[in-house]
């Protein structure tokens, strides 16, 4: 049960919790002390998560009104976003660090090589790469194809904020149009602006993915090379999934590096999603299995038991038929409406 599930379970199976709630409802002094204790506990958690600096954490201990405003309005945001909203200096330092990283990643080959070696070292420590795979990638870090891959990955990183910036600008413009030109009420203007922003964020092709896709097409035309971009070109135009374009393109050249980069990106990105009280824990396992364990299992099975041509044909037919079945199922359930 979202939001109330943990509270209901505690009230059901924990006698101390029931006694605590009863005392809070019958004693004003106990309620104030309990609220202060809960606030201090939350502030400790905020500090450990990086939501608040040392100074701000100590200030919020004695300012309950400011604490509750932050918890209600922005406490649901990811930790770094929360801190950036209330600490402008921290936000500016984060922006400078991101900009410096992107500039170095774009302009300095040795910086890209060092970054890749650090990622490989972390992946090896986490068990995502074997000793042989880590050594192979480390010795091939100066390979021209990998250098091209890293340059294209740097450009893809530069397109990260495009969708968010366009989303905010478009939402604000539509809201201002409804408010100032059409004379709509404030609630209607906010609803219209939020709807436009949500449509941009949820669209399968976003402004950021358009920029990524056009960049890949430009590289294909400039280098007159289709073979090294034929997977990345269509995938780059897809929202969110487009960031996996070059890890997928790398499969033909270095499957171990491709599997590692795709799995690492997917599992790190999904950690911001809250699932059953843990920050993306269960969903992270599913994504890790999809992008890492499943391809590795298929690879080992194909080596031991090569797949037949008939099985390949049946698998391709299943991939083609599956989306049609999903659409028909959604239509049958009333989620979507089909014409004709």
What does the pLDDT look like over 187-220, one tens digit per residue? 888 888 888 888 887 777 888 888 888 888 888 8
> 10 Å Cβ neighbour count for 24?
15
CA–CA dist 50, 73 (Å, integer): 17
Q: In the predicted model, what is the mean pLDDT of residues 332-336?
A: 53
* 265 and 121 co-located in one domain: yes
* 125 and 53 co-located in one domain: no
Quote the domain boundaries for residue 144.
Answer: 95-306
* 334 and 234 co-located in one domain: no
- Residue that has been written with the tokens 């219209």 in this structure: 192
pLDDT of amino acid 75: 84
pLDDT of amino acid 45: 92
Q: In the predicted model, what is the mean pLDDT of residues 141-160?
A: 78
Q: Three-state SS for 337? A: coil
* 74 and 111 co-located in one domain: no
DSSP secondary structure, 115-167, as one string: HHHHHHHHHHHTTSS-HHHHHHHHHTTT-HHHHHHHHHHHHHHHTTTHHHHHH
* 46 and 154 co-located in one domain: no
Q: Is the pTM of the predicted complex or chain greater than 0.75?
A: no
* 232 and 221 co-located in one domain: yes
* 81 and 116 co-located in one domain: no
Q: Which of 52-61, 130-139, 253-262, 322-331 has the lowest mean pLDDT?
A: 322-331
- Would you call 275 exposed, middle or buried from its count of C-beta atoms within 10 A (0-12, 13-18, 19+)? middle
* 173 and 151 co-located in one domain: yes
Domain boundary among 29, 55, 86: 86
Asked whether residue 175 carries a pLDDT value surpassing 80, the answer given is yes
CA–CA dist 112, 303 (Å, integer): 33
* 133 and 223 co-located in one domain: yes
| CA 242 to each of CA 112, 194, 266: distance values in angstroms, whole numbers, following the listed order | 21, 24, 12
CA–CA dist 49, 43 (Å, integer): 10
Domain boundary among 46, 67, 86: 86
* 136 and 63 co-located in one domain: no
The token duo for 141 is 């870090």
* 162 and 215 co-located in one domain: yes
* 148 and 64 co-located in one domain: no
User: How many domains does the chain contain in total?
Assistant: 3
């Amino acid at each position: 049960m979202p939001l109330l599930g943990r509270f209901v379970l505690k009230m059901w199976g924990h006698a101390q919790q029931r006694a605590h709630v009863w005392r809070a409802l019958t004693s004003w002094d106990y309620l104030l002390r309990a609220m202060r204790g809960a606030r201090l506990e939350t502030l400790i958690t905020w500090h450990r998560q990086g939501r608040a600096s040392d100074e701000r954490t100590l200030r919020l201990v004695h300012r309950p009104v400011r604490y509750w405003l932050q918890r209600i309005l922005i406490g649901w945001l990811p930790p770094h976003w929360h801190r950036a909203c209330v600490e402008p200096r921290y936000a500016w330092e984060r922006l400078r660090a991101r900009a410096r990283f992107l500039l170095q990643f774009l302009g300095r080959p040795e910086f890209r090589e060092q970054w890749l070696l650090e990622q490989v070292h972390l992946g090896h420590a986490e068990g995502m790469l074997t000793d042989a795979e880590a050594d192979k990638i480390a010795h091939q870090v100066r390979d021209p194809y990998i250098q091209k891959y890293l340059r294209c990955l740097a450009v893809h990183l530069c397109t990260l904020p495009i969708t968010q910036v366009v989303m905010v600008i478009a939402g604000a413009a539509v809201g201002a149009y409804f408010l100032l030109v059409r004379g709509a009420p404030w609630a209607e203007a906010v609803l219209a602006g939020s709807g436009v922003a949500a449509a941009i964020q949820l669209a399968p092709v976003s402004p950021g993915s358009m920029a990524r896709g056009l960049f890949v097409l430009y590289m294909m035309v400039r280098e007159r090379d289709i073979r090294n971009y034929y997977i990345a070109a269509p995938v780059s135009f897809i929202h969110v999934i487009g960031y996996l374009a070059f890890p997928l393109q790398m499969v033909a050249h270095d499957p171990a590096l491709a599997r590692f980069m795709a799995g690492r990106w997917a599992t790190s990105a999904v950690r911001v999603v809250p699932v059953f009280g843990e920050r993306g824990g269960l969903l992270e396992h599913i994504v890790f299995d999809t992008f890492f364990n499943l391809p590795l299992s298929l690879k080992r099975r194909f080596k031991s038991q090569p797949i037949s041509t008939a099985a390949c044909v049946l698998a391709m037919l299943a991939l083609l038929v599956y989306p049609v079945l999903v659409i028909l199922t959604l239509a049958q359930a009333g989620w979507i409406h089909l014409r004709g």
